[in-house]
Structure 1
Amino acid sequence: MEKVETKLHLPALKKPSGSLVVKKDDKPVKTFSISSVQKQGALGNILKGESIRQKMHKEQQAHKGLDLVLMGDLTGSMYAYHAILKRKFTEICTTLFQLIPNLRIGIIFYLDHGSGDVYVTKVQPLTVNVEQLQTFISGTPDGNGGDSDEAVEDALYDALEMNWSEINARSIVLFGDARPHEVCACPHQYDYFNIVRLLFEKQVTINTVYCSTGVDYRRLTELHKVGIGDFSHRISRLDDACFFSWIANVTGGVAIGVQQIDDIVDIIKAMAAKDAGKIDELEKEELKITLRPIPALVHIKEQAKLIEEKKKLLGYK
C-alpha cells in the first residue's frame, strides 16, 4: 500500500499589499555569558566587603576617643609650671574625662643629659586611672638641667614607644622653653627631625606651649611656617621659640605661648578638646564658669579651623 504524503499548508501572513511579513521579536535574545556572571559575583563580593569595612569603620568611629600625652620640661626654669600641674591636674581630668569619651592620658617628663639629675625622662603610659596619673605627677622630681638645650629628643623618642590605641586620635601637648639637642650633642644620637617625621606618620599631632613671656602667644605659629607633613627640608639649630613653632606646624598642631603661668591649665584643656573634636562643647562649659571668653581657648579654636582647611586641601582626614 502506497504511503500518501500529506503536506500541511499554513496560510502566509501578508501585509495589506500582499507581500510576506517576517515577524521579529521586540526584545533581543539574551545570551548567557559565564564571564559576566563571574564578574557580577566578584563585584558582589567587593560590595559586600566594602559594606563590612564601612560597618567596621562606623563601629570604630562610635568608639573613637583620644589618646593624650602631656610632655613637659621639668628643669629649673619650668618649676612653676610643674607646681600648677600638681595643683590643677585633678581639675583638668575632671573636665576632660567628662567631655571626651574613651579618653586616655599619658605623661612624659624630661630633664637633660649629664646634669647629675636622677633621670633624663620619666614615662607614665596612657591610662584612665586618674589617681595613678596624679601620683606620677606629684612623685616625679624637678631637675636642674644641663646646657641651654634640653632632652626634648629623648622625650619624643619615648613617645614613639607609647602604648597608643589603634582607634583613638593621638595628641601630644608639649610644654617647655628650650629646644632639643642636635644629633651630635645627644648621647643616644637621637635625631629629633626623623623622630617627629615618624610620629607624624603614626598620625600623632603635636601641639606646643612655649613657656616664655618673650613672645606674643598669638604669634608663635608665624615664627617658623612650614606645610603640614613637609619634611622635605631638614631643619636644625632653630632658636627655642622657632622650634616650638616648627614642630606644631609640621604635624598639624597648634603652637601657642603663655601670657601668665596659670594659662597652662586652659591651654591643655583646649588642645585636648580640639583634637577630640570637642572644642565647641568645652567653650560652652567654660563660659558657664568664667562668663567671658578665654583668650587662649578662642585663639586655639581659630587656629584649629585654619589647620582643618589646610588638611582638606592637602587631602588629610
Structure 2
Amino acid sequence: MATNGTEVYIKLPTGRSSRYDIYPSQVIRTLCERVAQEENVKANQVSLKYQGKILDPSKTVSHYGVRVETILKAEILVPQNLDIIIRMEDGEKTEEMVISNLEPVSYLFEKISGKFDIPSSRLQIKIEGRNLQFSGTRLVDAGIARGSIVVVCKKPELTAAATVNGASEESQMDEATRQNVLSSFNAKGKRVEVAFSFDTTGSMYGYLREVRQKLRQCCTRLLQDIPNIRISIIAQGDYCDSESQYAVRILDLTSDVQSLVDFANNVPATSGGDSPECYELVLKKTQELDWSEDSAKALVVIGDLHPHPPSYTDQHISWRDELDVLTGLGVKVYGVQAGNSGPSGLFYRELSRVSGGCHLKLSDMDVITDMFLAVCYNVGEGDMLENFEKELEETGNMTNQKLKMFQQLKEMPESRPSDSVSHRQNNTQREQLREPWWDFSLDTQTSPKYCYKADEDKWLPPSVVSTTLSAASLSLNVVSRKTSSSIRRIKGKDKCTIM
C-alpha cells in the first residue's frame, strides 16, 4: 500500500539491511526505536549515521535532508559509566560525577544544574574549549569520555539595561555558537578531507603550477585553522598519456605538508591528445582514497573539457555511475570550470548538482590559490569562509573574480536535494545535449580505443594489447614445444636403455 512516508534503508552492524517507512516530520529517535526492537537492544544504544554524520535522535528526518531510498548506517553502542570531573570556570568548585555515555547532553545540563544550583537556562558548559549546546545528542557523540573535564560557567542574567544596549543573551549565544564551530576542528573534532584533481593536459597544467608556488604556505595555514584536515592531490592526464607518463597519478589523503609539496613539484605535465579527458577515471579512482567514515568529504575537479563516453575503454567507465558511488560515500563534488568550456560546462554543473557540491567558474588563473583555501574552509563550514572573505577585503586582495567565487560558494545547497525523484529519473529537467559523453543512448561505438592492462596498470590501444598478448602466447607455445620435445627425447632414451 502506498504511503506518504519516506522509504529509507538502514545497514545494520551484521551487514544486513532493513527497510523502514518514516515521515519527514518524525524524529530520528523513531528509527532508533525500530532498529532497537529488531536488534533486541535499548533505543539509546542505536546510533544512526548519514554520510558519515551522527544523527541527533531529537532532530527530524527532514532536518538532515534524508530522501527516498537513502541508506543510513546503524551502530550498536555499548553502555559505559563515565567518571568525569565538573569544574567551575573560576575554580571555586569541583565535583566528580558518574554518568552513562548514552545519556543526552540535556541530561548532563540537568545534573549540573542540580549540583551547582544554577538554572539550566543560565548554564554554559565547555569540554576541551568547545561549547556544548542543550540537545538530545548522546554524551559519547559529543566527545565526552572517561576522565573528561567539563568546565561550567554561569551566564550573566539578562537585564533591561543590557537589552537596551543591545547586549542581549541571544547575541552572547551567537558568539558562543561561533566559538563552538571554530573550535570543533580540534583533535577530537570532525575530520575535513578534500581531494583536488588538477587536469595536467596542455595549458591546464598552469593551474597546478600556480598552486604549487604557495602550496606550503596554504597547507600550513589550513592545518593551523583546521587541525584535522587531510588533503589529496590528483594529477589527471588522459589514456593516451598512460604508456609514457600517467593517466591518473594520486597522492592519498595526508596532513604531511612536505609530501603534498613534493608531489605537486614533481608531477609532470601531460599532452592529453584528443579533446575529451579521463575525468571519469578520476571519479572512479577517487573512491579508493583513504576516506574516513566520519568526515566532511569533498572532491574538487578542476578542468576545461568533458569526460569520455563509456565505450571509449574496455572497462566501460560511466562518469554518471562513478559520480553516484562518490555521492553515496558522502563526497560532495565541486565542479570547477576553467575558462570558457562551452557545452563541457554541463559536466561541471552536473557534478555539483548530483552530489550537493558547488559549481565554480574560473576565468583567471591567479584565483586558483585562494579557491584552494576557500573550498577547504567551506567544507569545514562555520565562519571560516566568511572570515577568509573579510581578510581578502581588508588586505585589498579581493577581485571581481574572487567575489564571484565567494558568491557561488554561498549559494551552494546545504545538502543534496531531497526530492523524491532521483537525478537518473529526472530526465525532463536535465539539460539536453546530443553528445555520447552526455547522452549514453548515443554511445554506439563498439570497439574501445583503449584497454586496461592490469599487470602494468596502464591503458594501451587494443592493437598494442593484442600484440603483447600474441607475443606472450607465442613465447608460451615455444616453451611448451621445447618442453614437449625434451620429454619425448627423454622417453625415447629411456626406451633405448630398456631395450
TM-score under structure 2 length normalisation:
0.46
Mapped pair 1:146 → 2:273: yes
1:281 and 1:56, CA in 2 relative to 1: closer, same or farther beyond 3 A?
farther
Residue of 189, 200, 207 corresponding to 2:316: 189
Listed as ranges, the matches of 1:1-317 within 5 Å are 45-47=42-44, 51=102, 54-59=138-143, 62-115=188-241, 117-213=244-340, 239-277=343-381, 278-288=384-394, 290-291=395-396, 293-308=398-413
The amino acid across from 1:203 in the alignment is G
**Higher Cα radius of gyration:** 1
3-state DSSP class of the match of 1:307?
Answer: coil
Aligned residues: 250
Name the CA shift for 1:96/1:184 in 2 (closer, same or farther; >3 Å): same
Kindly indicate which of the two structures has a greater share of residues assigned to strand.
2
**AA in 2 matched with 1:99:** D
- Across the aligned residues of Structure 1 and Structure 2, the Cα RMSD in angstroms comes to 2.8
CA deviation after TM superposition for structure 1 residue 173, in Å: 1.2
**Contact map agreement 2:355 2:416 (CA 8 A) in 1:** no
The SS at the match of 1:146 is coil
1:65 is matched by which residue type in structure 2?
A: R
CA deviation map 1:267-301 (0-9, x unaligned): 1211111111121232233334x336454554344
Structure 1 letter corresponding to 2:43: I
Q: What TM-score does the superposition give when structure 1 sets the normalisation length?
A: 0.71
* Structure number having the greater helix percentage: 1
- Please say if residues 113 and 187 of structure 1, whose CA atoms lie closer than 8 Å, have aligned partners that are also in contact: no
**What code does the residue aligned with 2:347 have?**
F
Q: Would you say the 8 A contact 2:335–2:360 is kept in 1?
A: yes
The one-letter code of the counterpart of 1:302 is Q
Question: What does the per-residue CA deviation read over 1:112-147, in whole Å, with 9 as the maximum and x for residues that have no partner?
Answer: 112454111101000110101110111111111121
In structure 2, relative to structure 1, the CA distance for the partners of 1:58 and 1:305 (3 Å cut) is: farther
Query: Which structure 2 segments of 5+ residues have no match?
Result: 1-36, 47-56, 58-101, 104-136, 145-183, 421-499
Specify every segment of 5 or more residues in structure 1 that has no aligned partner in the other structure, as ranges: 1-41, 216-238
Match of 1:30 in 2: none
- Larger relative contact order (CA 8 Å, sep ≥ 6): 1
- SS of the residue corresponding to residue 391 of structure 2 reads helix
Cα distance per residue 1:185-210 (max 9 Å; x no partner): 13432111000001001110111221
Deviations 1:36-87 (A, max 9, x none): xxxxxx9994346673672233229751021010111101121221221221
Counterparts of 2:419 and 2:141, CA distance in 1: 22
> 2-side partners of 1:292 and 1:127: how far apart?
29
Aligned 8 A contact 2:360 2:408 in 1 = no
Paired letter, 1:280? E
Q: Residue 57 of structure 1 aligns to a residue in which SS?
A: coil
Task: Provide closer, same or farther for how the CA distance between residues 47 and 129 of structure 1 changes in structure 2, counting only shifts above 3 A.
Answer: closer
CA contact (8 A) 1:173 1:268 kept: no
Contact conserved, 2:356 with 2:414, CA < 8 A, in 1?
no
Cα deviation, 1:2-53, whole Å, max 9, x if unaligned, reads xxxxxxxxxxxxxxxxxxxxxxxxxxxxxxxxxxxxxxxx999434667367
CA separation in 1, counterparts of 2:302 and 2:333? 10
Distance 1:312 1:255, change over 3 A: closer
SS in 2 for 1:122: strand
Q: 1:293 to 1:141 in 2, by over 3 A?
A: closer
Aligned to 1:21: none
